Structure 1
Amino acid sequence: MSSNNWHSGKTQIFWTCKALIDGRTISHKTEIREVRGWRLGSIIHRLKAELHWPILVEYRGPDNIAHYWLSKDAIVSELRFPQSAKALGVKGDAAQ
């Protein structure tokens, strides 16, 4: 997979990966507030479909807002990362 095929900003992709490996539950509203992004659903789809991240989703509230989190069974060191978030997969860098 080429990073050129991602239509989301590199900051948004990095933020999404970091938030998930940090154990956060994130939604589109969280992404807008923190990184002014609009592509969370697309990023999640690509992480799941192309990189096989075990991301779970729950739709909440009357508007069925998607909330995403990484499965507790996920082993971060075994995840494949998109180019813009490769540093997160290097031991010791995820906490930065």
Structure 2
Amino acid sequence: MPQAHFYSKPTSVYWTCKALLDGRTISHQTEIREVHGWRLGAIVHRLKAEFGWPICTEYTSPGRIALYRLSPDADPTKLRFPKSAKSLCKEEVAE
């Protein structure tokens, strides 16, 4: 029997969207520690390319670890969400 809220489960995509919306700066190490995920770079790329999220990327030295955060001027109400993070969308929650 299929689960009713399959796309609302806290997946790596959901976690990434929530962390960015919460104003956090996240890295691959943070994703591994918190949700045991391994694809943060791919998730961020998809959010930027497919969904138009204004995500800023900075790199640390000397390890050149990528740090991701949502642009400070981003309007969360105008963001498009992947299926697994639709529950984060204000319009979806209000319904």
Aligned pairs, number: 85
Identify the residue that residue 73 of structure 1 maps to in structure 2: 73
Contact 2:56–2:70 (8 Å) recurs in 1? yes
Q: How many angstroms does 1:91 deviate by?
A: 5.0
SS in 2 for 1:53: coil
* Structure (1 or 2) with the larger CA radius of gyration: 2
Q: TM-score, normalised by structure 2?
A: 0.84
What SS class does the counterpart of residue 67 from structure 1 fall into? strand
Give 3-state SS (helix, strand or coil) of 1:68's partner.
strand
Aligned partner of 2:82 in structure 1 is 82
Letter in 2 for 1:37: G
**Which consecutive segments of 4 or more residues in structure 1 shift more than 4 A?**
none
**Structure 1 residues 56, 77: CA separation in 2 closer, same or farther (over 3 Å shift)?**
same
How far apart are residue 76 of structure 1 and its match?
0.3
Contact 2:59/2:65 (<8 A) preserved: yes
- The verdict on how the C-alpha distance between 1:23 and 1:92 changes in structure 2, with shifts beyond 3 A counting, is farther
2-structure distance, mates of 1:26, 1:65: 10
Instruction: Note the alpha carbon deviations across 1:32-81, whole angstroms, 9 max, x for none.
Output: 00000000000000000000000000000211000000001100010000
The unaligned stretches of length 5 or more in structure 2 are 1-9
Q: CA RMSD in A?
A: 1.8
Where do 1:1-96 residues align within 5 Å?
A: 11-90=11-90
Change (3 A) 1:92 1:49: closer
